[in-house]
Amino acid sequence: MAFGGLNGGGGSSQPQSEINMVPLIDVMLVLLVIFMITAPLLSHSIVIDLPQVTSQQVKEDPEVIDLAIDADGAIFWNEQPLARDALAARLRETAQRQPQPDLRLRADRNTRYEMLAEVMGEATRAGVKGLGFVTTPGAAKPAGETPATP
């Protein structure tokens, strides 16, 4: 380490480029003491004799209701045809069951949006909380590309 005089004689006028390590060593020693004191406290534990219980875990899969709408607007409840008038009553009955089943909406590509909006609104008014959409996975298209029409 080079020491220069105050008068500037014999020393260079360039700044000193060495790091002062003394403060870093002081901090390291303080941290070492702190860890030496706290390490034994972390391993201290209380011994408790817990009761042993043997039981099987209850696994309850939620019921799924498949609500399909074809291109003509016909409604199918779990693959069974359902009249449009009976949909509201069936949805209210489903919403009151505990646990509430999941409702999966499956619609034809050519189904009018108006019909989908009516069915979703009817489900919301009935109190159905789990509403999902079923789609067919396809190849991802780059952004900006439109599908070709046959």
Whether the full predicted model's pTM is greater than 0.85, yes or no, is no
Task: Give the model's confidence band at 46: pLDDT under 50 very low, under 70 low, under 90 confident, else very high.
Answer: confident
Structural domains present in the chain: 64-133 (3.30.420.270)
Average pLDDT over residues 105-124: 90
Residue length of the chain = 150
Write down the pLDDT at residue 32: 95
**Type of residue found at 25:** I
Q: What is the DSSP string of 41-97?
A: HHT------PPP---PPP--PPPEEEEEE-TT--EEETTEEE-HHHHHHHHHHHHHS
Mean pLDDT of 130-137: 84
Only one residue has tokens 């004799």, namely 49
Distance of alpha carbon 129 from alpha carbon 47, whole angstroms: 45
- Tell me what the mean pLDDT of segment 14-40 comes to: 88
Enter the tokens of residue 44. 């201290």
Measure the CA–CA gap between 31 and 25, rounded to whole angstroms.
10
Q: Is 121 helix (H, G, I), strand (E, B) or coil?
A: helix
Residue 142 has pLDDT above 70, yes or no: no
Is 88's pLDDT higher than 60?
A: yes
Residues 6+ apart with CB under 8 A from 134: 66, 104, 105, 106
> Is the predicted pLDDT of residue 55 greater than 70, yes or no?
yes
Query: Has residue 109 got a pLDDT over 90?
Result: no
Average per-residue pLDDT for the chain: 81
Q: What's the rounded Cα separation, in Å, for the pair 106 and 119? A: 11
